[in-house]
Amino acid sequence: MLDTVTLVSFLVLLAAIFIGFSVLMSFIPLGLWISALAAGVRIGMITLIGMRLRRVPAAKIVNPLIKATKAGIDLTVNQLEAHYLAGGNVDRVVNALIAAQRAAIPLEFERAAAIDLAGRDVLQAVQMSVNPRVIETPVVAAVAKDGIELKAKARVTVRANIDRLVGGAGEETVIARVGEGIVTTIGSSFSHKAVLENPDSISRTVLNKGLDAGTAFEILSIDIADVDVGKNIGAQLETDRAEADKRIAQAKAEERRAMAIALEHEMKARVQEMRAKVVEAEAEVPLAIADALRQGRLGVMDYYQLQNVQADTHMRDSISRVAPPETPEGTEKR
């Protein structure tokens, strides 16, 4: 009976030890600690347990630390863990530090971490510092002083400036500044032929403007990839101006015509008004004659004589309205 109790107690103790060991192993990544120890990275069990309690994946800290140690970069667990807790990408920062060290580019962990936290790809920036990138601008249209439009496309070779990655402007600013420089250079040319003969003049002028100031890049070269001749903007503007002047002149002429027509109608109305007055005055003549006859100021013979004069006047008017007879050609009317 005693042996049975002892056996059961032993089994319970063994199970408790196994459970405790399993729980302890769940907090202590033993395999990761052995890997770090084999790589020459000294990291204590308490540190690994603290990472687990802070909910920091130990592998995302230890593996980059092993990588940095093998590359000869002196980093600490606290630096990597603080960067992870700040929301950074620890593995990318360590890869960028290793790439910068191999390329002999001075880059400290603090600056690399700041670039990563700023939202930029620090590894890509280091790679761009080693291998410059070519940015192709869209087609930029500009007009020379002779009125001819030119369309140019440029290729800008840039290299990342690690010192200005934090707070520096991006690719859009570089493209906009290069486009502005192309427009200025073509616009200041007296003839489009001069630009077509020497397209490198655009590159030299734009490159000397220092367009990379305040950006995260360093412009190495600006090459004009293509230049095409567009519309004759000057002639089109002159045509539009002439058409506008023509419309203005037509509008003014139409205004004068409308005023003349209005004046004509007004004069016709005045003529009709004067004719009405004449008719009104003529209507008073018989009344005046009748009144003169009644008062004895006009005799009957005088009235008949007046009628004869009026009849004679009407006859002469009728004769004067008759058209003269046509004479044969080459003969004189006698």
**How many angstroms separate the CA atoms of 237 and 235, rounded?**
5
Q: What was the pLDDT predicted at 85?
A: 86
Statement: residue 262 has pLDDT above 80: yes
What is the enclosing helix (H) or strand (E) of 47?
Answer: helix 45-53
CA distance 334 to 330: 13
Position 145 scores a pLDDT of: 81
What is the structure's pLDDT at 199? 79
What is the CB-side half-sphere exposure of residue 114 using CA atoms within 13 A?
12
| Burial status of residue 292 (CB atoms within 10 A of its CB: 0-12, 13-18, 19 or more) | middle
pLDDT at 10 over 60: yes
pLDDT at residue 294 tops 80: no
Burial class of residue 270 in the structure, from the number of CB atoms within 10 Å of its CB (0-12 exposed, 13-18 middle, 19+ buried): exposed
pLDDT, residue 333, reads: 47
**pLDDT value, residue 186:** 83
Identify the H or E element spanning 231.
strand 217-232
Of 27, 35, 33, 30, the C-alpha closest to 51 is: 27
Q: Which residue has the higher pLDDT, 231 or 5?
A: 231
Q: Which single residue is written with the structure tokens 């493209």? A: 175
- Cβ atoms 169, 216 nearer than 8 A: yes
Mean pLDDT, range 183-190, rounded to an integer: 83
144, 232 contact by CB (below 8 A): no
Burial of 227 (0-12, 13-18, 19+ CB in 10 A): middle
Classified as helix, coil or strand, 260 is helix
Identify the weakest region by mean pLDDT among 142-146, 192-196, 254-258.
Answer: 192-196
Q: Is 222 within 8 Å of 137 (Cβ atoms)?
A: no
**pLDDT tens digits along 200-239:** 777 787 777 777 777 878 888 888 878 888 777 777 777 8
Q: What is the pLDDT of residue 63?
A: 84
Q: What is the mean pLDDT of the chain?
A: 79
- The 3 state secondary structure assigned to 164-205 is HCCCCECHHHHHHHHHHHHHHHHHCCCCHHHHHHCCHHHHHH
Q: How many CB atoms lie within 10 A of CB 112?
A: 25
pLDDT digits (tens, 9 = 90+) for 91-137: 888 888 888 888 888 888 888 888 888 888 888 888 888 888 888 88
Q: Please give the CATH topology (third level) of the domain spanning 133-235.
A: Tetrahydropterin Synthase; Chain A (3.30.479)
pTM over 0.85: no
Identify the top-confidence range among 12-21, 27-36, 44-53, 283-292. 283-292
pLDDT of residue 122: 82
CA torsion angle 312 317 321 323 (round to 10): 40
Phi-psi region of 322 (alpha: psi -120 to 50; beta: other; left: phi over 0): beta
DSSP 290-317: HHHHHHTSS-HHHHHHHHHHHHHHHHHH
Domain boundaries in the chain?
A: 10-129, 133-235
What is the number of alpha carbons within 13 Å of residue 86 lying toward its C-beta? 17
